[in-house]
Amino acid sequence: MTIHQNLIAGEWTGSSAVENINPSDTNEVVGLYAEASAEDTKAAIAAAKAAFPAWSRSGIWERHVILKKAGDEIMARKDEIGALLAREEGKILPEAIGETIRAAQIFEFFAGEALRLAGEVIPSVRPNIGVEITREPLGVIGIITPWNFPIAIPAWKIAPALCYGNTVVFKPAELVPGCSWAIVDILHRAGLPKGVLNLVMGKGSIVGQTMLDSPDLSGITFTGSTGTGKRVAAASLEHNRKFQLEMGGKNPMVVLDDADLNVAVEAAANSGFFSTGQRCTASSRLIVTEGIHDKFVAALTEKLQTLVVDNALKPTTNIGPVVDARQLKTDTDYIEIGKQEGAKLAFGGEIIKRETPGFFLQPTLFTEATNQMRISREEIFGPVASVIRVKDYDEALATANDTPFGLSAGIATTSLKHATHFKRNAEAGMVMVNLPTAGVDFHVPFGGRKGSSYGPREQGKYAAEFYTTVKTAYTLA
């Protein structure tokens, strides 16, 4: 098997490699991927630093052409790259192809944004002086990504970084190097000058930590766990460096008595269990008012019975495997915790066997949960959700907001009054009315509040806030 190497200063390098294993079939090695050392990482940072002056002054047309070419190639290869994604991460093929299309759309969007860079010219408060406000690239951006969106998250960080004239050192998650390698290869062939985009695959404790400790990164954008996010923050403050964090969620989905039951059940099933519950926007707290509670639980349980858990590549599968053995243990540990805390296991909870050896877990629903239980407060990141019974809308909103996180919040209701009030008062970066808490557009801001996020929003034109720095210039005319 050939080794997919790291890209450092425009050269593919690296001979030590690790196996990328398919969680739907642990006998299958998806590919061999190089493991970077601390020295490789330092070389990548040096290459990005050396490439910055020229790239930061490159023409916007050059950036447009490269980003557009990359978007076009990803779109043309969506089935092949989508299959690679499904094999390395375990989400089902339609979701994996959908994510690949989204990555292509993100590159197309930022190809357009490169041509729309603009500043402001305004009069000074002093006579005969003009003021110009412009955006400039930050410098070298460190990009550290998680395993749950192996192509979309790298795309929504790499595309704006390059669009605004930064150079990049990119470290994907250990479990999913395949899609990251594919997009770096595409961008490299699309004509990026050497050193502008460097790929260093490998361990967080080595590659990631070397990035955090480097004085030469002007910004780090991170998506992952709260614990690692805190390390990124502490190390970035030390180096007076800009940083952006997207971390966990414990997203509420409120269901009111007046909800359309089908809409509520579809939204809850999608939010809680699709993509194996492994989305930071997934909902694991279903907050349901008394009048609809029993009907909702019965209908959701009925729906869960119809969902097929199996190999991600099978066309009949609705839910693929959990990503690896460690995450499966976390999920089953939380299922035990939920039982011990006194929640009622209404559906699922068991590891299941399929034709291929993989990490298959039934979608799991608890009822009679309280918002104070650990299963309601801590992010599980698996196909596990709980129903919390509340008296009315006011208690539902208070419960929804009673969490350390604030990424996404959903409500199912036919009341304009409650929908409007919830949109204004939910303490979350994204609010969904009669829609799942997960599943967002690529051209508008993404991000949260409280313990979920730190720094400017990602995606859409708001991405410029992180990837540029503002300059104010005064001229005596």
Beta carbon nearer to ligand ADP, 212 or 387: 212
Q: Does 291 bind ligand ADP (CB under 6 A)?
A: no
Beta carbon nearer to ligand ADP, 75 or 337: 337
Pick out residues in 130-149 that bind ligand ADP (CB under 6 A). Answer: 144-146
Beta carbon nearer to ligand ADP, 202 or 436: 202
DSSP character string of 412-440:
E-S-HHHHHHHHHH--SSEEEESS-SS--
403 near 252, Cβ under 8 Å? yes
Q: Which is catalytic among the residues 246, 266, 379, 458?
A: 246
Which listed residue (21, 103, 104, 173) binds ligand ADP by CB under 6 A?
A: 173
Q: Does 204 bind ligand ADP (CB under 6 A)?
A: yes
230 near 248, Cβ under 8 Å? no
Q: Which residues contact 173 (CB under 8 A, 6 or more apart)?
A: 145, 146, 147, 150, 224
Q: Does 378 bind ligand ADP (CB under 6 A)?
A: no
Q: Of 423, 386, 426, nearest to 403 (Cα)?
A: 426
Q: Closest approach of Cβ 1 to ligand ADP, in Å?
A: 23
How far apart are alpha carbons 477 and 461 in whole angstroms?
32
Q: What is the DSSP letter of 312?
A: T
Q: Does 205 bind ligand ADP (CB under 6 A)?
A: yes
Q: Closest approach of Cβ 378 to ligand ADP, in Å?
A: 13
Q: Does 278 bind ligand ADP (CB under 6 A)?
A: no
Beta carbon nearer to ligand ADP, 113 or 331: 331
Q: Does 324 bind ligand ADP (CB under 6 A)?
A: no
How far apart are alpha carbons 248 and 408 in whole angstroms?
10
- Location of structure tokens 């698996």: 382
How far apart are alpha carbons 419 and 256 in whole angstroms?
10
Binding mask 357-376 for ligand ADP (x = CB under 6 A): --------------------
Q: Closest approach of Cβ 245 to ligand ADP, in Å?
A: 10
Q: Closest approach of Cβ 205 to ligand ADP, in Å?
A: 5
User: Alpha-carbon Rg of the chain, whole angstroms?
Assistant: 23
Pick out residues in 207-226 that bind ligand ADP (CB under 6 A). Answer: 208-209, 212, 224-225
Q: Does 228 bind ligand ADP (CB under 6 A)?
A: yes
φ, ψ dihedrals at 73, nearest 5° = -70, -40
176 near 147, Cβ under 8 Å? yes
Residue type present at position 140: V
How far apart are alpha carbons 71 and 69 in whole angstroms?
5
Q: Closest approach of Cβ 148 to ligand ADP, in Å?
A: 7
Q: Does 231 bind ligand ADP (CB under 6 A)?
A: yes
Beta carbon nearer to ligand ADP, 146 or 455: 146
How far apart are alpha carbons 404 and 376 in whole angstroms?
11
Q: Is 62 part of the annotated catalytic residue set?
A: no
Pick out residues in 88-127 that bind ligand ADP (CB under 6 A). Answer: none
Which listed residue (89, 108, 174, 458) binds ligand ADP by CB under 6 A?
A: 174
Using CB atoms within 10 A of its CB, is residue 476 exposed (0-12), middle (13-18) or buried (19+)? exposed
Please state, as a whole number, how many other Cβ atoms lie within 10 Å of the Cβ of residue 293. Answer: 18
Half-sphere exposure of 108 (CA within 13 A, CB side): 14
Q: Closest approach of Cβ 312 to ligand ADP, in Å?
A: 19
Q: Closest approach of Cβ 41 to ligand ADP, in Å?
A: 10
389 near 396, Cβ under 8 Å? no
Q: Does 180 bind ligand ADP (CB under 6 A)?
A: no
Q: Which residues participate in catalysis according to the annotation?
A: 246
Q: Which residues are at the interface with ligand ADP (CB under 6 A)?
A: 144-146, 171, 173-174, 204-205, 208-209, 212, 224-225, 228, 231
